[in-house]
Amino acid sequence: MRFKISLTTRLSLIFSAVMLTVWWLSSFILISTLNGYFDNQDRDFLTGKLQLTEEFLKTETFRNKTDIKSLSEKINDAMVGHNGLFISIKNMENEKIVELFAKNSVVPAILLNKSGDILDYMIQTEENNTVYRSISRRVAVTPEQGKSKHFIITVATDTGYHTLFMDKLSTWLFWFNIGLVFISIFLGWLTTRIGLKPLREMTSLASSMTVHSLDQRLNPDLAPPEISETMQEFNNMFDRLEGSFRKLSDFSSDIAHELRTPVSNLMMQTQFALAKERDVSHYREILFANLEELKRLSRMTSDMLFLARSEHGLLQLDKHDVDLAAELNELRELFEPLADETGKTITVEGEGVVAGDSDMLRRAFSNLLSNAIKYSPDNTCTAIRLERDSDCVNVIITNTMSGPVPANLERLFDRFYRADSSRVHNTEGAGLGLSITRSIIHTHGGELSAVQQGREIVFNVRLLRG
3-state SS class at 404: coil
Contact 79, 87 (CB under 8 A): yes
Angle, vertex CA 92, rays to CA 42 and CA 147, nearest 5: 115
For residues 395 and 384, is the Cβ–Cβ distance under 8 A?
yes
pLDDT (tens digit per residue) in 388-444: 888 899 999 998 877 666 666 666 777 666 655 544 444 455 567 788 888 888 888
Distance CA 46, CA 133 (A): 8
207-216 long-range contacts (CB < 8 A, ≥24 apart) are: 209/238, 211/245, 214/238, 214/241, 214/242, 214/245, 215/242
Contact 418, 424 (CB under 8 A): yes
**pLDDT per residue of the chain (466 residues) written in tens, 0 to 9:** 466 777 778 888 888 888 888 888 988 999 999 988 988 888 888 888 888 888 877 776 555 444 677 777 777 777 776 777 888 888 777 777 777 776 555 666 656 555 555 567 788 877 777 788 888 888 887 776 667 778 888 888 888 788 888 889 989 988 988 888 888 888 888 888 887 787 787 778 777 777 677 777 777 777 777 777 887 887 888 888 888 787 777 667 767 766 777 788 788 888 888 888 878 888 888 888 888 888 878 877 777 777 777 776 777 778 888 899 999 999 999 888 888 888 899 999 998 899 888 888 998 898 889 888 888 888 889 999 999 888 899 999 998 877 666 666 666 777 666 655 544 444 455 567 788 888 888 888 899 888 888 788 889 999 988 6
* Phi, psi dihedrals of residue 158, rounded to the nearest 5°: -85, 120
Name beta bridge partners: 354: 322, 465
Q: CA dist 252 to 180, 245, 413, Å?
A: 62, 10, 16
Identity (one letter) of the amino acid at 153?
I
Instruction: Kindly list the structural domains of the chain, giving each domain's residue range(s) and its CATH number in brackets, ordered by start.
Output: 7-168 (3.30.450.20), 220-311 (1.10.287.130), 320-464 (3.30.565.10)
Q: Give residue 84's region: left, alpha or beta (phi > 0; psi -120 to 50).
A: left
Q: What is the pLDDT of residues 37-91, one digit of tens each?
A: 988 888 888 888 888 888 877 776 555 444 677 777 777 777 776 777 888 888 7
* Phi and psi torsions of 376, nearest 5°: -100, 150
Angle, alpha carbons 260-261-262 (nearest 5°) = 100
Residue 196 neighbours by CB under 8 Å, 6+ apart: 7, 8, 11
Residue 197 gets which letter from DSSP?
H
User: Pick from 91, 77, 78, 89: which is nearest to 52 by CA?
Assistant: 78
Are the CB atoms for 136 and 153 separated by under 8 Å?
yes
